[in-house]
Amino acid sequence: MAPVDLPPTLAVWFIAVCAGVCVACGVALFARLLADPPAPVPGVEAPPRGFRLAWRLINAAGHYRAARLSWRARRGIEAELLRAGLRHALGAAQIAGAQAVCAIAAALAAGCLIGILGVAAAPALAVMSGAALLGWFHPRIWLRERMRQRAALARRALPFVLDMTTLCVEAGLNLSMALQQTAAKAPPSPLRDELRRVLGDIRTGVARAQALRDMAGRLDLPEVRTWVGALAQADALGMSLAPILRAQSDQRRSERFLRAEKLAMEAPVKMLLPLIGCIFPCSFIVIGFPIAVQLLEMGGG
């Protein structure tokens, strides 16, 4: 039986339809991998947007990487997640999976850019390796930056929380009621969220001193540890809370002013590098160009 010859136009259409179906299937599969984020739970922090967009990819990579994580690395990641306020949103497996996904994505992006620019093989391999290394460390750097920002927000809110608690105690409320009023009236901050968690722990039967110590461990701030230690000592010895809270409030506020003065004194030093690297060369070019033109004209004349 002789083969059937298709007209050229029909063959082109057939190839185009097959290619379109393949592309559509690939896009649908990729969208499926990037879909299906975890459903938000009321009262529990949700995973960040980047993790939700690639949740299936991160979970798939984390499934294979979690078995290779040592207990020391797992405990370190979980401690960072706790201080970043993401302990119930992410786990060590998700962070490990995000490292693998970011490394592969960075290497592929660098490879596409190299293919467009037409770089040689040896430099291309070095650039792709460097991009993969940066992608590998990016989730851990992001996590530590989130820890730093959360600690800064909690430290900034601490003087107001202390003032509010002191006013409530001086008005005649006990410490539990004062903390409850502070958690209800304080502006949004990680410290307010932690106070609400402390009150929830107390309602479930945890001792107040233990709940406050757990809060200090989650925030990992020396100021909060000092405040919690003073509250525990006053509670154990039966001392009056108002003078202790007032002293803590005054000390935290003075420390805040000292940090502001320190940052103000560091600003001129930090401006030296931009001045030397960016502003001074431009100024020298603007000043020196007319002089150079005059010298050239005099030399030519």
pLDDT (tens place) for every residue of the chain, 301 residues total: 445 454 556 555 556 666 666 666 555 555 555 555 555 544 456 677 778 778 888 888 888 888 888 888 888 888 888 888 888 888 888 898 888 889 988 888 888 887 777 666 667 788 888 888 998 999 999 999 999 999 888 888 888 888 888 888 888 888 888 888 888 888 888 888 888 888 888 888 888 888 888 888 888 888 888 888 888 887 777 777 778 888 888 888 888 888 888 888 888 888 887 777 777 778 778 888 788 888 777 765 5
181 within some domain: yes
Let me know the angle formed at the C-alpha of 55 by 41 and 106, rounded to the nearest 5 degrees.
140
Using alpha carbons only, give the angle 150, 154, 155 rounded to the nearest 5 degrees.
115
Q: Does 194 fall in a domain?
A: yes
Considering the domain boundaries, does residue 9 fall inside one?
no
Q: Is residue 38 part of a domain?
A: no
Within a domain: 133: no
In a domain, 60, yes or no: no
Q: What is the CATH number for 204?
A: 1.20.81.30
Give exposure, 32-65, as e/b (b: 16+ Cβ within 10 Å). eeeeeeeeeeeeeebbbeebbebbebbbebbeeb
Mapped onto helix, strand or coil, the DSSP state of residue 62 is helix
Residue located via tokens 């200090």: 216
The rounded distance, in Å, linking the Cα atoms of 210 and 199 is: 11
Tokens 């057939």 sit at which residue? Answer: 14
| Angle, helices 121-170/71-84, rounded to nearest 10 degrees | 50
Q: Which residues contact 189 (CB under 8 A, 6 or more apart)?
A: 153, 154, 156, 157
Supply the pLDDT for residue 6: 47
Closest CA to 103 of 59, 135, 130: 135
pTM for the whole thing?
A: 0.71
Domain presence at residue 174:
yes
The DSSP code for 40 is P
Residues 99, 170: Cα–Cα separation, whole Å? 51
Q: Which residue range forms the structural domain that includes residue 209?
A: 152-262
* Domain annotation covers residue 8: no
Q: What is the pLDDT of residue 145?
A: 92
Is the dihedral angle over the CA atoms 178, 181, 186, 191 positive or is it negative?
positive
**SS3 of residue 221 by DSSP:** coil
Give the pLDDT confidence score for residue 57 in this predicted structure: 83
Number of structural domains, the chain?
1
Containing H/E element for 293? helix 280-300
Provide the residue type at 164 as one letter.
Answer: M
Model confidence pLDDT, tens digit, residues 49-108: 778 778 888 888 888 888 888 888 888 888 888 888 888 888 888 898 888 889 988 888
For residue 156 the two structure tokens come to: 């900034």
3-class DSSP state of 121: helix
